[in-house]
Amino acid sequence: MLNFYVSITTTFFILFLISLLGMFVNKKNILVMLMSLEMLFLAASSFFVFTSIYLDDVTGQIFAILILTVAASESAIGLAILVIYYRIRNSISVELMDLMKG
């Protein structure tokens, strides 16, 4: 059972690192950055759920629900800002994001 836990934990860690890499390597497309951020949240919440099942504790599942709630609100706000930015600039390029005022 311990080997299975280590392999699943390693998988979640690799998924977390891939999402971090996707956020830092991609500097041009904001949609890919948002998807990488969502994948990061998913990897963290999956790790918490699996660890809470393995340890027979409910705390990890509660943290996973909180993480998914924050991820959903972050995604909705990010996409709303993206739609407004596209209406103003007709482009979703990240290089011009520093021109936004506010």
Per-residue model confidence as pLDDT tens digits over 56-82: 999 999 999 999 999 999 889 988 988
Q: What is the pTM of this model?
A: 0.81
What pLDDT score does 26 carry? 83
Whether 18 has a pLDDT exceeding 90, the answer reads: yes
Pairwise CA distance, residues 10 & 94, whole Å: 32
pLDDT grade, residue 29 (50/70/90)? confident
Give residue 84's pLDDT.
86
42 in Cβ contact with 55 (< 8 Å)? no
- Cβ-count burial 47-73 (b if 16+ within 10 Å, e if not): bbbbbbeeeeeeebbebbeebbeebee
CA distance 50 to 47: 5
